[in-house]
C-alpha cells in the first residue's frame, strides 16, 4: 500500500475492501427490510395475511388525520421533556465525572453504564415494584408519615390522619420518570466525551479574568460542550420518541405514545400498511431532525 | 456452525442457553431445524423422524407432559413459546418456519383458516377426540372441528378483592359505567374485547355491533376513563394480587390461579353475560412432521395427560375424561366452571376483519381523549 489511508479518493481499493462488508450488511438487513415496509405503506390489506401494494396514499392520509398527528405531537412533547430533564440532570453528572480524580473516573463511568447490562424490561419491572401502591417508595413514605405522626403525639398534638399511598404509577409522570431513568446514560456519555476534551485552562482563564462561576459555565463550558449537547439531545430524543414499552407498562389510561399505536397496527389491528405509514412518518420526522442538525453543524464549520 | 450441539445437548443447560442465544439474535427456526441431523434421527413407524416442534403459550403445559410423551412415543418435543396470538400470527403469516403444533385462540383459528394457513385434521388419527365434552365437539368458530382440537377454554369476568367491594360486582356497570370504584379499576387494553363487552353490557350480541354502537361505546369509554387506573396487558391478576387495583377485567383461569394464593379474591361473570375464548391445538400448513403432530394432539387429549396439564395450569378443560379424574375442588369450582345459566349468556367473538380496525381506531381515540 502506498501512503497512509487518509482519503478514499486516492485509495479506492482498500477502502472498497473495508467498506464492502458493512455496506452489504446494511443493504441486506436494514435497507431491504425497510424498503419492504416502505412499500407496504402504499398498500392495503387483501386478506388476513396478504397485502396488495396498490400505490394508494390512503394510509398516509389517515396517518395525518388530527387524531394521529395529536398523538405524534404528544409523543414529541413527552420525548422533549424527557430529553430536557436528562440534560439538566446529566450535565452536572458529566461534569462531576470529568473533574473527578482520574482513578475514580473509570468506576464512575462504569456506574453510568451498569444499567445497560440489565434488560430494559427487567429494569422497568423493577421500577414498577418500587413505585407501586404497595411498593417500596410508598412504604418508605408511609413510614416517615407514621414517624411524624408519632412525634406529634409525643409533644401532645393530635396524630396525623392515616397514610394514603401516593399514586406514583400509571400516569404521565411515571412515563416521563421511566423514560428519564432509561435514557440518562445516553445523555451523560456524549456530554462526558465532550467535556473531557475541554481545555481546563480556559475555565481558569475565565475565572481569573473576573467572570463568576455561573458566567464561566454559561459562556465558556456550555459553548465548548455544544457538540456533546447536540449529540446527547439527538440520541436521547430519538429513542424516547419511539418508546413503547415504558408507556405500555407504566403509563395510565391516557399515556399512549405513537409507538404504541404503531405496535397495535402490526399486531392486534393486523393493519400492516397503516402501521407502515405511521412508522415512516416517524422516520421522516427523525430524518428532518438529523438533517437540520447536520446543516447547522456545517454552518458552524463554515463560520470558523 | 453445528446447531445440533446447541439443540441436542441433553441435560446440558448452558448449551441450551447458548442455543437460545442463537435463536435470540435472529437465526430462523428453519435454519436451526435444517441443521439438526437427518442422518442419525431414528425413524418412527410412521416414516417421520422422532421430532416435533410445538409452539405454545408460556406456562401452558403439564410439568412432565413433554417427558412423559417422550417416554411413551419416543418423540423429542421441542417447545418454543409465544406471548400473544398476534405474535403467533405474525410468525406464520410469511410461511411456516417449521412448527408442527400451534395453540391459537378461537378467533385466530378462524383467521388462520380463512388465510388457508391450517391443515385439515384427520380425525382417524385423533381417536381421543371422544374425550372432548359435547359442547366443544362442534363450535361456531370451527364447525365440526375441521381444523382444531380444543385445549382449554376461558370466560372473561370481573376479578375483585372481597374486602374492598360493597357487594359482589355482578354487573359490567361497575367497570364500564359507574364511579363507585374510581381509580381502583383495571380493564383490558385489547380494543376488540372491550368494545364487545360494552356491547354485552348494553344487551347486544358481541358479534352484532354496528358503527353507531361503536360511536356510542366510544363516548361511554371516554366518560368512564377518569375512573380507570390502567388498561392492562392481560396481567390484571398481578395488579389485583399486588393491591394496585381492587377490580379487574380478566379471564376466569387467570383469577383462579391467584385465588389459590389469596383467599380475599373473588371472581364473577356479570349477569349480562360475557365473552368466551378457547385455545385450540392446530397444525399449520407446511408442518414438517404432520403425523407426529396428530399423534401429539391425540396424546394431549388423553384423559391422564389432560389431567396432568390441568393440574398445572388450572384452566377450565374441555376434556371430560380428564375433568373426571380431577379432584372435587376443581370440578365444583364455580370460578373455573361457571354455572350453566351464566354460560348460556356467553358468546364466542367471531373473527371480523372489517370491524377490528374500527375498534382499534376508536380505542386509540379513547386513549388520546
Minimal CA separation from A29 to chain B, in Å: 11
Nearest by CB: A256 against B84, B87, B367? B367
In this predicted model, what pLDDT tens digit does every residue of B98-125 receive, in sequence order?
999 999 999 999 999 999 999 999 999 9
Give which of B131, B133, B44, B89 is closest to B282, Cα–Cα: B89
pLDDT at B233 over 90: no
**β-bridge mates for residue B279, sequence order:** B105, B152
- What pLDDT score does B42 carry? 65
Minimum Cα–Cα distance from A135: chain B residue:
B242
- What pLDDT score does B28 carry? 41
Residue range B144-173: average pLDDT?
95
DSSP letters for B215-261: HHHHHHHHHHGGGEEEEESS-HHHHHHTTS-SEEEEEHHHHHHHHTT
- What pLDDT score does A5 carry? 58
Cell of A230: 447536540
In this predicted model, what pLDDT tens digit does every residue of B67-90 receive, in sequence order?
999 999 999 999 999 988 888 998
Residue B188: enclosing H or E segment and its boundaries? Answer: strand B185-188
**How many Å separate Cα A11 from the centre of its chain?**
38
- What pLDDT score does B162 carry? 96
- A90 and A193 in contact (C-beta within 8 Å)? no
CA distance B291 to B289: 6
pLDDT at B34 over 50: no
* Chain position carrying cell 416521563: A176
Cβ distance A268 to B229 less than 8 Å, yes or no, reads: no
Residue B335: count of CB within 10 angstroms of its CB? 20
Cα-flanking dihedrals φ and ψ of residue A92, to 5°?
-60, -35
- What pLDDT score does B22 carry? 37
- What are the counts of helices (DSSP H) followed by strands (DSSP E) for chain B? 18, 10
Question: How far, in Å, are A33, B124, B153, B274, B302 from residue B129 at the CA level?
Answer: 43, 9, 16, 27, 9
Question: How far, in Å, are A57, A190, A273, B94, B340 from residue A53 at the CA level?
Answer: 11, 42, 9, 16, 48
HEC profile for B315-356? CCCCEHHHHHHCCHHHHCCCCCCCCHHHHCCCEECCCCCCHH
Cβ distance A256 to B229 less than 8 Å, yes or no, reads: no
- What pLDDT score does B21 carry? 37
Nearest by CB: B84 against A71, A261, A267? A267
- What pLDDT score does B351 carry? 87
- What pLDDT score does A175 carry? 95
**β-bridge mates for residue B250, sequence order:** B157
Residue range B265-286: average pLDDT?
95
Cβ distance A170 to B230 less than 8 Å, yes or no, reads: yes
Residue range B208-226: average pLDDT?
95
CA distance B314 to B320: 15
pLDDT > 90 fraction of chain A, expressed in percent and rounded = 54
pLDDT at A76 over 90: yes
CA distance B280 to B278: 6
Among A12-16, A269-273, B252-256, the least confident range: A12-16
In this predicted model, what pLDDT tens digit does every residue of A215-229 receive, in sequence order?
988 888 999 899 899
- What pLDDT score does B130 carry? 95
Among A60-69, A155-164, B96-105, B288-297, the least confident range: A155-164
| Residue B41 binned pLDDT confidence (cut-offs 50, 70, 90) | low
**β-bridge mates for residue B81, sequence order:** B56
The model's pTM is 0.83
| Residue B61 binned pLDDT confidence (cut-offs 50, 70, 90) | very high
Minimum Cα–Cα distance from A260: chain B residue:
B364
pLDDT at B284 over 90: yes
Cβ distance A271 to B93 less than 8 Å, yes or no, reads: no
Cβ distance B225 to A67 less than 8 Å, yes or no, reads: no
Q: What mean pLDDT is reported for chain A? A: 89
Minimal CA separation from A70 to chain B, in Å: 8
In this predicted model, what pLDDT tens digit does every residue of B176-206 receive, in sequence order?
999 999 999 999 999 999 999 999 999 999 9
Residue range A61-75: average pLDDT?
94
CA distance A278 to A285: 11
Where are any strands of DSSP class E within chain A?
43-45, 51-53
> DSSP character for B42?
P
Which chain A positions have a beta carbon within 8 Å of B241's beta carbon?
Answer: none
ipTM: 0.82
Which chain A positions have a beta carbon within 8 Å of B183's beta carbon?
Answer: 167
Which chain B positions have a beta carbon within 8 Å of A69's beta carbon?
Answer: none
CA distance B93 to B20: 23
Minimal CA separation from A296 to chain B, in Å: 35
Cβ distance B230 to A253 less than 8 Å, yes or no, reads: yes
Residue range B134-153: average pLDDT?
94
pLDDT at A181 over 90: yes
pLDDT at B26 over 90: no
- B138 and B303 in contact (C-beta within 8 Å)? no
pLDDT at B1 over 50: no
Which chain B positions have a beta carbon within 8 Å of A45's beta carbon?
Answer: 353
pLDDT > 90 fraction of chain B, expressed in percent and rounded = 73
- What pLDDT score does B260 carry? 86
pLDDT at B359 over 80: yes
- A279 and A37 in contact (C-beta within 8 Å)? yes
Residue range A106-117: average pLDDT?
89
Residue range A92-110: average pLDDT?
92
- A192 and A225 in contact (C-beta within 8 Å)? no
Nearest by CB: B365 against A47, A67, A271? A67
CA distance A200 to B194: 61
CA distance B355 to A269: 9
pLDDT at A170 over 80: yes
Amino acid at each position: 500500500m502506498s501512503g497512509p489511508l487518509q482519503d478514499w479518493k486516492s485509495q479506492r481499493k482498500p477502502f472498497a475492501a473495508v467498506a464492502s462488508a458493512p455496506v452489504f450488511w446494511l443493504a441486506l438487513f436494514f435497507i431491504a427490510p425497510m424498503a419492504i415496509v416502505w412499500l407496504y405503506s402504499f398498500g392495503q390489506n387483501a386478506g388476513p395475511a396478504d397485502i396488495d401494494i396498490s400505490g394508494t396514499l390512503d394510509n398516509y392520509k389517515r396517518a395525518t388525520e388530527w387524531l394521529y398527528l395529536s398523538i405524534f405531537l404528544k409523543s414529541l412533547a413527552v420525548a422533549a421533556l424527557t430529553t430536557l430533564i436528562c440534560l439538566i440532570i446529566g450535565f452536572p453528572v458529566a461534569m462531576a465525572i470529568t473533574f473527578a480524580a482520574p482513578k475514580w473516573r473509570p468506576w464512575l463511568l462504569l456506574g453510568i453504564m451498569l444499567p445497560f447490562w440489565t434488560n430494559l424490561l427487567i429494569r422497568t419491572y423493577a421500577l414498577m415494584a418500587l413505585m407501586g401502591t404497595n411498593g417500596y417508595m410508598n412504604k418508605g413514605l408511609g413510614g416517615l408519615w407514621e414517624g411524624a405522626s408519632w412525634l406529634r403525639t409525643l409533644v401532645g398534638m393530635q396524630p396525623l390522619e392515616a397514610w394514603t399511598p401516593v399514586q406514583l404509577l400509571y400516569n404521565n409522570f411515571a412515563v416521563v420518570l421511566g423514560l428519564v431513568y432509561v435514557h440518562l446514560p445516553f445523555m451523560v456519555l456524549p456530554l462526558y466525551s465532550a467535556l473531557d476534551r475541554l481545555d481546563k485552562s480556559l475555565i481558569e482563564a475565565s475565572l481569573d479574568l473576573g467572570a463568576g462561576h455561573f458566567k464561566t459555565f454559561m459562556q465558556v463550558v456550555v459553548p465548548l460542550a455544544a457538540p456533546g449537547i447536540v449529540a446527547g439531545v439527538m440520541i436521547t430524543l430519538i429513542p424516547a420518541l419511539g418508546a413503547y414499552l415504558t408507556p405500555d407498562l407504566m403509563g395510565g389510561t391516557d399515556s399512549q405514545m405513537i409507538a404504541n399505536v404503531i405496535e397495535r397496527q402490526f399486531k392486534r389491528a393486523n393493519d400492516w400498511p397503516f402501521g407502515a405509514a405511521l412508522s415512516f412518518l416517524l422516520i421522516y420526522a427523525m430524518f428532518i431532525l438529523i438533517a437540520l442538525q447536520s446543516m447547522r453543524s456545517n454552518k458552524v464549520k463554515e463560520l470558523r | 456452525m453445528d446447531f445440533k450441539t446447541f439443540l441436542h445437548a441433553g441435560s446440558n443447560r448452558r448449551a441450551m442457553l447458548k442455543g437460545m442465544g442463537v435463536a435470540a439474535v435472529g437465526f430462523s427456526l428453519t435454519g436451526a431445524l435444517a441443521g439438526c441431523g437427518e442422518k442419525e434421527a431414528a425413524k418412527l413407524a410412521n416414516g417421520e423422524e422422532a421430532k416435533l416442534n410445538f409452539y405454545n403459550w408460556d406456562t401452558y403445559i403439564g410439568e412432565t407432559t413433554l417427558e412423559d410423551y417422550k417416554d411413551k412415543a419416543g418423540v423429542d418435543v421441542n417447545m418454543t413459546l409465544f406471548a400473544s396470538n398476534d405474535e403467533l400470527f405474525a410468525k406464520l403469516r410469511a410461511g411456516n418456519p417449521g412448527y408442527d403444533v400451534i395453540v391459537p385462540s378461537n378467533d385466530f383459528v378462524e383467521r388462520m383458516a380463512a388465510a388457508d394457513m391450517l391443515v385439515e385434521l384427520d380425525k382417524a388419527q385423533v381417536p381421543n377426540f371422544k374425550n372432548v365434552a359435547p359442547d366443544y365437539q362442534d363450535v361456531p368458530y370451527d364447525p365440526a372441528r375441521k381444523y382444531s382440537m380444543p385445549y382449554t377454554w376461558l370466560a372473561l369476568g370481573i376479578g375483585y378483592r372481597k374486602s374492598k367491594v360493597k357487594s359482589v360486582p355482578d354487573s359490567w356497570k361497575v367497570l364500564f359505567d359507574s364511579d363507585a370504584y374510581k381509580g381502583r379499576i383495571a380493564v383490558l387494553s385489547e380494543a376488540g374485547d372491550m368494545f364487545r363487552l360494552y356491547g354485552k353490557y348494553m344487551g347486544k350480541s358481541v358479534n352484532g355491533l354496528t358503527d353507531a354502537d361503536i360511536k356510542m361505546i366510544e363516548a361511554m369509554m371516554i366518560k368512564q376513563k377518569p375512573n380507570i387506573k390502567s388498561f392492562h396487558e392481560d396481567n390484571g391478576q398481578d395488579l389485583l394480587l399486588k393491591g394496585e387495583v381492587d377490580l379487574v377485567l380478566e379471564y376466569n383461569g387467570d383469577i383462579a390461579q391467584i385465588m389459590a394464593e389469596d383467599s380475599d379474591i373473588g371472581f364473577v361473570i356479570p349477569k349480562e353475560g360475557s365473552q368466551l375464548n378457547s385455545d385450540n391445538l392446530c397444525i399449520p400448513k407446511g408442518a414438517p412432521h404432520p403425523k407426529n403432530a396428530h399423534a401429539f394432539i391425540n396424546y394431549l387429549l388423553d384423559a391422564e395427560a389432560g389431567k396432568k396439564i390441568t393440574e398445572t395450569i388450572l384452566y377450565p378443560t374441555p376434556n371430560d375424561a380428564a375433568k373426571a379424574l380431577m379432584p372435587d375442588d376443581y370440578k365444583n369450582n364455580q370460578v373455573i366452571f361457571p354455572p350453566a345459566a351464566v354460560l348460556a349468556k356467553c358468546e364466542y367473538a367471531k373473527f371480523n376483519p372489517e370491524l377490528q380496525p374500527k375498534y382499534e381506531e376508536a380505542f386509540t381515540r379513547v386513549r388520546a381523549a
